[in-house]
Structure formats: structure tokens, C-alpha cells
Chain A
Amino acid sequence: MLYVAPFLCLYVILLVYPLFGGFWLSLHKADLFGGRRFVGFENFVRLSNDQVFLGAVGNTFYFILLTVPALAIIGLGLALALNRQTRTAAVLRGVFFSSSVLSVTIVTLLWKVVYAPEGGFVANLLEVFGRPPIPFLSSAELALPAIAITTIWWCIGLPMMLFLAALQQVPRELYEAAALDNAGRWKTLWNVTLPSIRRTFALVLIIEVVLQFQLFGQAYLMTQGGPNNASRPMVLFLFEVGFTRWDVGYAVAAGQILFGFIAIAAFAQYLVARRKEAF
């Protein structure tokens, strides 16, 4: 018990207490200065009528739709292409994972100067072809897709590596059997490789849903949620309400809803991960 105690203390004070304190606080109208009044579920009713919040929920799901399938498919494609012992493949794997070690603030800085309509990389490229620049980040339609592209660039390393690890686990005998059957490249892929990594595919999808649900830094630093709320995700809403408007009870209530979504995904991950034994 003595060995476990130091961690448990921190765990209870810094994670369990804030979680339950949050449940309690979400039932209050509370501000920065400690003033709080019990209001029951009023915060949640307010959230369900708040167009900005509902928009943020919609944006979050739209963002997941833009990023997660792309991450899974590109990650799988790269893993299939780079699953070999050559030096070139090793270097390329290193390149595709390198962006993952950068912090969100570096990533957004890099992509701001790629997207900038004045003097940005894409704008220069368009100019060569005689096209006018595209204001990616100040356009309501393009802001979130632009953030999605940045995110895919940033996060592609993890799904690639997870798929590579899974591909290493596929039994060699299966490929030898396929080769004996004279199965071609595509047939082997469809009948041997993909069925063998089904579980990893599900796992990657869930992990990425959980990760991309928490979109914050990219939107905060690239667009501040704009223009006209078009790129504001849930976490940014929570941040603004809690840390700039200091409507703490309301922000915590939004946090509870976010927690609910993530708990569902985490439970799905647990179910899929547990099925490992069944295979």
C-alpha cells in the first residue's frame, strides 16, 4: 500500500476530485471569483439551445469525418508501401513520422505560412499558374478542411506505425500459401493482408476518433474558430467560455458532454482491444 500511496494521492487530488468537482460545478452558475449559485440542469438546457455550442458539436463531428478516414486509409497505404527491409523504406518511414514529434504551435506556424494568401507557399504556386490566391483560413467553407489537412499532415505517423506493427504480425505461412495458389498482388492484399489486420483497423479508427475529438490547438492558433464560428470545435468552445469569459459552470457542463462522447469511444476501444484474446 505504501508503494501505491504516492501515486494514489496525486490521482485522487488532480484527477478524481476535479472530475467529480466538475460534475458538481456543472450544476452551478459559477464565475472566476468563487461566486456560485445552484441552478440544477440549467447549464445543460442552455447548452442545448446555444447555437454556438451546437455549431461546435457539428464542427467537431465534421472534422472527425474529414480526418479519421483519411488518416486510416493514408496510414494503411503508407504502411503497405513501406513494409520492407530496405534503407529507402526506413528513411521514408522516418520522414512520415517526423511531423508527429513537433508541437502543435510549430505545426500551425508552418502551415500558416503555407496557407497565407499573401506570400504563402500555395499562393506562390497558384501565382506560377496565373491563379489568384485562395484565402483558406478566412473562408467559412475552407477553414475546417484546411485545418483537417494540417492535422492529417501532423498525425499521419501514428496510424502508419500501428499498421506497420500489425503487418509484421501477419503469419508468413499465409503469404506462402497465397503464393502457392498463384494469387496476385491485389488478391493477396484482399484475401490475406486486410482480413489479418481487421482488428488494428478498428483500433486505429477509434484511437483517431478520440484524438481528433480533442481538436483544440490547430483551430485556436490558425482561425480562432472563425470565420463566423465555422471552425470552432467543442474543446475551443469550452476553452473560450471557461478561460476567457470565465463562465466556469457553463464551460464545465460543456466539458461533461465532451467527456460523455469520449467515454463512449474509450469503451469501444476497450471492447476491441479485449477481443485480442478471441483471435
Chain B
Amino acid sequence: MTTQLASGAVGRGFGDRLILAATIALAIVMVIPMLWAVGLSLKTNQELLVDTQSVLKAPWTLINYYDILIGSGVFRWLLNSIIVSTGMSLGVLVLSSLAGYGFARLEFPGRNVIFVLVLFGLAIPEQAVILVRHQLFSDLDLHNTYAGLMLPGMSAPFGVFLMTQYFKAIPTEIDEAAMLDNASRFKIFWRVLLPMTLPAQATLGIFTFLHAWNDYWWPMVSGTNQQMYTLTVGIASTQQNFAESAGLGYLMAQAVFASLPVLIVYMFFQKYIVRAVSGAAT
């Protein structure tokens, strides 16, 4: 019996190492596109025109990054992305918390029917509404404004669903205890219940922020003015004239520069981001 266990353990160890090796190999394949882009960004455009294999050999240069710093739309796009993503996240958090509290705690006529109708919205894909929405925003003169970029994301029902579930999970005894202290309804919501929903707020906030940051279609058709490009749209616009004007090294430097903010945030908040993204999917 003991020998069996021992041999099993050895076999398991070898198998484990094999699996680990295979996984590491796959991880290397995974990072190759990123490393390749970083490598290209460290070469002059002229050198890359001749031979991209020179990436492996010195000299490397930061000239492309310098060019970005002195004259490029990237900073404006970065600013726009920060404004839009932050604004949309705050909007979603406020609206969803209010509505979630309302659906979970308040009695009003038609509450359950309305809630079910909101849930149906979870199944509506952006593609089914984007054209009419686009015309609506034209009529309201909202294109090329920050409000125009933020508002559509705030109408998504996912946050309301999440917050309603969360508020429902809080025992009503807590409200009742606060009620005995003569606290007003809003005070109960604001001072007692809302702080208890912080984990859900974090999940929802991160998910919305990431979604807004990476969204492509709506900002592309709404913020058509170059001054209103988000980072995602701006980087896409440089691809249209691929390799023509800007040069390969410069394009790659721009891509690396544009991915840095989100990758840095990812490194520090990986746990929360993973939780937010997988929580939102199911």
C-alpha cells in the first residue's frame, strides 16, 4: 500500500512537471505578440523597412517614444478615455445603486413587472439598437460630446440587476433597526446600506470602466471628431494608414504606450479585475 502510494506520488510529480512545462511553453507563445510589438517599437522606422529581424540585435532606441511625447494625439485620446470611462462608471454606480435599492426595498405599483422588463434588457445586444440610437443622438446634437459617449453605457441593465441582488441579500432587520433610530429612508440607504455594498460597487465599477475603456464601436461612430477620439478609437485610426505615413516602429510605440495604463492597473488589481469580469459574465 505504501509503495503504491509512493510510486503514485512519483508518477504524479513527473506528470505535473510535464504539464507545467507545456503550460509555460504556451504562456511564452501567449506573450510573443506583445514582446514582438515592444521589440519593433525600439527600432527606427528606417531600419524596420529594411529588415525586421534586426529587432534581435542592438542598437535599440527610444526615438519612437520621444516622437510620441512631443507630437501625437495620444495624450488627448488618453485624457478622453479617462474622462469617459470614469464618468460612465460613476454614472452606472449611482444609477444602479439607486435603482437596485428601489427594486430591492421599496414597494411601488408594478415593481416586479418593471424589474422583469429591465432584466429582458440583458439580452439586447448593442448591435440591435445602435442605428436608432445613433439617429437619436444626432437629433439631440449629442455626437462629439462627452455626454454622448457616456450615456449609452449607463442605460445597460446589468448594474441594476447586480445591485438589486446585492441589496436583497442584506437582511431587512438592519433597515428596521435604523428605522427605530428615526433615520430617514435616504439616510438608511446612504449611511447604512450603501457602505455594505462596497464589494459589489467595486466589481461593477471595474467592469464598467474596463468596458468603457475598450469599447470601440459606439465611440467610433459618435465621437468622430479627432479631438473626441478615445484611446481605442485613436489607435484604430492609426491602423488605417498602416505602414504608410507613421512608420512601423512609431505605430508599435503608440500601441505599447496605449496599453501601458490598463496593463499597469491590471498588475495591481488583477484579483479584482478577474473577479469583476468573470462575475459579470455569469
Stretch at the interface among B45-53, B65-73, B176-184: B45-53
A119 touching B151, Cβ below 8 Å: no
Which B residues, 18 to 62, have Cβ-Cβ distances below 8 Å to chain A? 19-20, 22-24, 26-27, 30-34, 36-37, 40, 48, 51-53
- Cα distance A124–B263 in the bound complex, in angstroms: 27
Is B221 at the interface (CB under 8 A from chain A)?
A: yes
Is B113 at the interface (CB under 8 A from chain A)?
A: no
A109 touching B262, Cβ below 8 Å: no
- Cα distance A207–B248 in the bound complex, in angstroms: 36
Contact (A119, B48) CB under 8 Å given A4-B98, A98-B266, A153-B30:
yes
A98 touching B123, Cβ below 8 Å: no
- Cα distance A266–B124 in the bound complex, in angstroms: 9
Which A residues, 153 to 211, have Cβ-Cβ distances below 8 Å to chain B? 153, 157-158, 161-162, 165, 182, 184-185, 203, 207
What distance in Å separates the Cβ of A120 from its nearest Cβ neighbour in chain B?
8
What distance in Å separates the Cβ of A100 from its nearest Cβ neighbour in chain B?
7
A124 touching B52, Cβ below 8 Å: yes
B278 touching A3, Cβ below 8 Å: no
- Cα distance A177–B221 in the bound complex, in angstroms: 58
Residues of chain A with a CB closer than 8 A to B277's CB:
100, 157-158, 161
- Cα distance A82–B121 in the bound complex, in angstroms: 36
A121-137 vs B, CB cutoff 8 Å, 1 = contact: the mask equals 10010010000000000
B270 touching A3, Cβ below 8 Å: no
A256 touching B123, Cβ below 8 Å: no
Is B199 at the interface (CB under 8 A from chain A)?
A: no
B27 touching A109, Cβ below 8 Å: no
Residue of A nearest to B139 (CB): A34
Is A258 at the interface (CB under 8 A from chain B)?
A: yes
- Cα distance A119–B47 in the bound complex, in angstroms: 11
Contact (A217, B216) CB under 8 Å given A7-B95, A11-B118, A248-B135:
yes
A19 touching B128, Cβ below 8 Å: yes
- Cα distance A19–B34 in the bound complex, in angstroms: 39
Is A65 at the interface (CB under 8 A from chain B)?
A: no
Q: Which of A6, A14, A95, A259 contacts B98 (CB 8 A)?
A: A6
What distance in Å separates the Cβ of B253 from its nearest Cβ neighbour in chain A?
11
Q: Which of B94, B106, B132 contacts A252 (CB 8 A)?
A: B132
Q: Which of A14, A239, A259 contacts B128 (CB 8 A)?
A: A259
A121 touching B103, Cβ below 8 Å: no
Q: Which of A88, A214, A256, A266 contacts B20 (CB 8 A)?
A: A88
A15 touching B121, Cβ below 8 Å: yes
B23 touching A7, Cβ below 8 Å: no
Which B residues, 123 to 182, have Cβ-Cβ distances below 8 Å to chain A? 123-136, 151-152, 154-157, 160
A-B Cβ contacts below 8 A, count = 234
Q: Is the interface of A mostly helix, strand, loop or mixed?
A: helix
Residues of chain A with a CB closer than 8 A to B236's CB:
105, 108, 217, 221
Contact (A113, B263) CB under 8 Å given A14-B155, A97-B274, A102-B214:
no
Residues of chain B with a CB closer than 8 A to A100's CB:
277
B125 touching A96, Cβ below 8 Å: no
Is A271 at the interface (CB under 8 A from chain B)?
A: no
B101 touching A105, Cβ below 8 Å: no
Query: Can you pick out 26 interface pairs between chain A and chain B where the beta carbons lie within 8 Å of each other?
Result: A7-B95, A11-B157, A13-B136, A14-B133, A14-B155, A15-B129, A15-B156, A18-B136, A21-B132, A81-B20, A99-B30, A100-B277, A101-B266, A101-B273, A103-B216, A108-B236, A110-B34, A111-B33, A112-B242, A113-B37, A121-B36, A158-B278, A182-B4, A214-B126, A259-B128, A262-B123
Q: A110-B255, A161-B277 are in contact. List 6 more A-B contacts (CB 8 A).
A: A8-B118, A18-B133, A78-B26, A112-B239, A243-B131, A259-B127
Interface residues of B (CB under 8 A from A): 4, 8, 12, 15, 19-20, 22-24, 26-27, 30-34, 36-37, 40, 48, 51-53, 94-96, 98-99, 101-103, 106, 108, 114, 118, 121-136, 151-152, 154-157, 160, 189, 210, 213-214, 216-217, 221, 231-233, 235-236, 239, 242, 248, 251-252, 255, 258-259, 262-263, 266-267, 270, 273-274, 277-278, 281-282
The 7 nearest A-B residue pairs measured at CB:
A3-B102, A18-B129, A119-B52, A14-B155, A266-B123, A4-B102, A259-B128
Interface residues of A (CB under 8 A from B): 1-4, 6-8, 10-11, 13-19, 21-22, 25, 78, 81-82, 88, 92, 94-106, 108-114, 119-121, 124, 127, 153, 157-158, 161-162, 165, 182, 184-185, 203, 207, 214, 216-217, 221, 235, 238-239, 242-243, 248, 251-252, 255-256, 258-259, 262-263, 266-267, 273
